[in-house]
Structure 1
Amino acid sequence: MNFIQFKSSLKDFPIFSVVEIRALDPSFDRRRLNEWQKKEYIRKISKGLYIFSDIEVNEEILFEIANKLYRPSYISLESALAYYQLIPEITYGVTSISTRRTYRFNTPLTHFTYRTIARHLYFGYVVSDDALRIATFEKALLDFLYLNNDIDDPTSFASLRVDQDAFFHQLDQDTLNRQLSRFDTIALTNRVRRFMEWIRHA
């Protein structure tokens, strides 16, 4: 299989793994990947994961990489809050939630950080038309407050630079309450209450 054939076969997979290559061609010679990297046809993101060099790397591509790099996982925390325009866009990588151990990948594209959450709290994400897994607006906020217990008072809330209009435009209070109840922790319930009191008067 030459590169033109290879790229045509993977046209629906701008980000691809050895698993996907082998599904198309079980006899594929992995040495081609090294050859094509040297020719700058493809770029290696991490072990076994590649991207075509001519792909424009935007937020959607980075989110797709994050979903594939460490599974199971979904986009959440700062990245999801910025995606929903609740906080300013972050510049230090992509943040996700996983049931696996906390881990950080440093890649040529950006940093991908995964925070651990218990299996019973691995919920509250949606799957987009492009199969991207991202936390709902409410779950992204809950994940963030749950894993950052130092964000707990008006000063720390203000440091997030929350867009009040964007918050109330998107907030579904029933969804927030329902998802919060599944955490079943008094500390988080109190932290969310303090945050809501703060943002109503911000």
Structure 2
Amino acid sequence: MNLEDFRNTPFRMQDLSSVFPNCANLKMKAKRLEYDGDIIRLKKGLYVASPLTSRMELSPFLLANHIYGPSYVSMQTALRYYGFIPEAVYSVQSMTTGVARDYENTVGTFNYIHVPARYYNIGVTMKESTGATFMIATPEKALCDLMVFTPNLNLRFQTSMRDYLEDDIRFDMDALLNFDLDIIKDCAEVSRKKTMLNQLIKFIENERNI
């Protein structure tokens, strides 16, 4: 086995023993490989082969799933991925049932927001990009996550909902017409911001009737 066999999937330090079976000190070996640019350290004990080694593009979303979990990519990061908001997002935002944490490495910044377990599994899907398969929120769940876990956001009226979507996050309003309202309803049932998500459902229904 060679380092490039790891492709662009993160691996643990002990996994290096399959590449260097006679190495007596994997920690020192990992440091040398990192210094030489063969691997990239994502966090303590977790690495990924560099693109020069693997000949594959890194997938920040796949890395996010591995750096801290269980987790799935969401909020502005997912909405930008789907093309529903125009602004660039400079960190990878994920939801987790674990404690909220932030990680920073040479690849980028990774933010993890805590969500309750009963809310976590709603509206999560698998996508494939750059030779990697990763967990990401559906568009409906990503928008719910953004609204529910943005501090001090409380959209109680239809006018404020429109202002938020059109002006604050510049959401593609046409995309709302194809949203699966059942996902939003499921989120609302277990969310601490049920009233606001119900306002979102009402807003989408009104848009469809125009």
Q: Normalising by structure 1, what TM-score? A: 0.79
Tell me which moved more, 98-107 or 172-181.
172-181
Show the counterpart of 2:29. Answer: 32
Show the counterpart of 2:95. Answer: 97
Q: Would the aligned equivalents of 1:78 and 1:95 in 2 still touch at CA under 8 Å?
A: yes
1:155 corresponds to which of 163, 168, 171: 163
**Matched residue SS, 2:2:** helix
Q: 1:24 to 1:125 in 2, by over 3 A?
A: farther
Show the counterpart of 1:71. Answer: 69
Over the matched positions of the two proteins, sequence identity in percent amounts to 26
**Matched residue SS, 1:162:** coil
Q: Distance in 2 between matches of 1:136 and 1:19?
A: 34
**Matched residue SS, 2:188:** helix
What RMSD in Å do the two structures reach over aligned CA positions? 3.0
**How many equivalent residue pairs?**
194
Q: Which runs of 5+ in 1 are unaligned?
A: none
Show the counterpart of 1:139. Answer: 141
Q: 1:23 to 1:70 in 2, by over 3 A?
A: farther
Q: Distance in 1 between matches of 2:184 and 2:77?
A: 19
Q: Distance in 2 between matches of 1:128 and 1:23?
A: 29
1:1-202 matches, within 5 Å, as 5-11=1-7, 13-22=8-17, 28=23, 29-53=26-50, 54=52, 57=57, 61-123=59-121, 124-128=123-127, 130-148=132-150, 149-150=152-153, 152=155, 153=160, 154-157=162-165, 158-169=167-178, 171-183=179-191, 185-193=193-201, 196=204
Q: Normalising by structure 2, what TM-score? A: 0.76
Q: Would the aligned equivalents of 1:98 and 1:114 in 2 still touch at CA under 8 Å?
A: yes
Q: Deviations over 1:6-26 (max 9, x none)?
A: 314424x54322254357777
